[in-house]
Amino acid sequence: MTRITKPTGFATIALALLAVLVATGARGADAQRGKALYQECKRCHQAGRGAKHRIGPHLNDVFGRRAGSLANFRYSPAMKKAGAGGLVWTEKTLDAFAANPRKVVPRSRMSYAGMTAAGDRTDLLAWLRTLSASRSGLPAAEPTMTVEEFGLDPRLLAVAGDPEYGAYLASECTTCHRPDGADEGIPSIVGWPVEDFVITLQAYKRGKRRHQAMQTIAKRLSDEEIASLAVYFGRPLAGR
């Protein structure tokens, strides 16, 4: 499908993103800095090759792990209860736990007061993600919602996307996201199923997923623009 004119609104997104980054201090995650910040955790938790349990469990493969689920570690009753209640360690739950452990799991044995700076937690989690087998090809964020969980109008998934239009819009996305699909601090958006891509951006657009820069961008996108980006980025690299 050929277009004679292109909407100009999306052309301002990169500038809007930069303004948000400056205003909020947001930036790409720095895993190496996170490794240095891990020194705050080291006296209780080991991580990396050969890591073993200490006062706390080791932190290898923590992403996607149900809380209190390692069979060979003696968890507090509170942590076991949290895991039985459905607590799984994701970017969101780990961030909340690192910020205030006792708020997330009351009466746990975790004595750490919390890492107050959001940027420090982002960097720490970026490093911990490198120690998780689930890191490859996954976004550093909450798992994508289903249509039912999100309450999304199924008709939005039927909006036809134009890959050529998506290619035009994509230049603004690749201001931050790598066009080759590499995941270096900022999550990859290449090769996602079209439905997952649409649901994710619609969730940001409607405030169901939290990230100020992404919410700012998504709110400026029409449903057709979201669908077109989804089709474009869903194509294999060789097919673009």
pLDDT of residue 18: 44
What whole-number distance in Å separates Cα of residue 69 and Cα of residue 3? 54
Q: Which of 84, 107, 135 is the last residue of a domain?
A: 135
Domain interval for residue 186 = 9-27+140-239
- 92 in the same domain as 120: yes
pLDDT of residue 145: 60
Please report whether residue 145 resides in a domain: yes
- 122 in the same domain as 56: yes
- 83 in the same domain as 103: yes
- 221 in the same domain as 179: yes
pLDDT of residue 144: 56
pLDDT of residue 115: 95
Please report whether residue 214 resides in a domain: yes
Residue 231 pLDDT > 80: yes
Q: What is the pLDDT of residues 64-123, one digit of tens each?
A: 889 999 989 999 999 999 999 999 998 899 999 999 999 999 988 888 899 999 999 999
Contact between 30 and 36 (Cβ < 8 Å): no
CATH number of the domain that residue 40 is part of: 1.10.760.10
What whole-number distance in Å separates Cα of residue 119 and Cα of residue 29? 8
- Supply the mean pLDDT for the chain: 81
Percent over 70 (pLDDT), the chain: 79
* Number of structural domains the chain divides into: 2
Q: Which residue has the tokens 């077109």?
A: 228
Please report whether residue 88 resides in a domain: yes
Range scoring the smallest mean pLDDT among 155-159, 175-179, 180-184: 180-184
- 145 in the same domain as 123: no
- 123 in the same domain as 50: yes
Please report whether residue 64 resides in a domain: yes
Q: Which of 143, 75, 138 is nearest to 109 (CA)?
A: 75
* Top-confidence residue, 178 or 6: 178
- 85 in the same domain as 169: no
Please report whether residue 158 resides in a domain: yes
pLDDT of residue 99: 96
- 231 in the same domain as 206: yes
Q: What is the pLDDT of residues 7-25, one digit of tens each?
A: 445 545 554 544 444 333 3
Percent over 90 (pLDDT), the chain: 42
- 148 in the same domain as 234: yes
* Top-confidence residue, 217 or 185: 217
Q: Which of 78, 108, 135 is the last residue of a domain?
A: 135
- 175 in the same domain as 130: no
Please report whether residue 21 resides in a domain: yes
Please report whether residue 1 resides in a domain: no
Residue 229 pLDDT > 90: yes
Residue 210 pLDDT > 80: no
Taking 3-state DSSP, the helix, strand and coil percentages for the chain, each rounded to the nearest 5, stand at 50, 0, 50
Task: Show the tokens assigned to 6.
Answer: 């292109």
- 116 in the same domain as 63: yes
- 200 in the same domain as 217: yes
Please report whether residue 91 resides in a domain: yes
CA separation, residue 28 to residues 9, 12, 109 (Å): 25, 20, 32
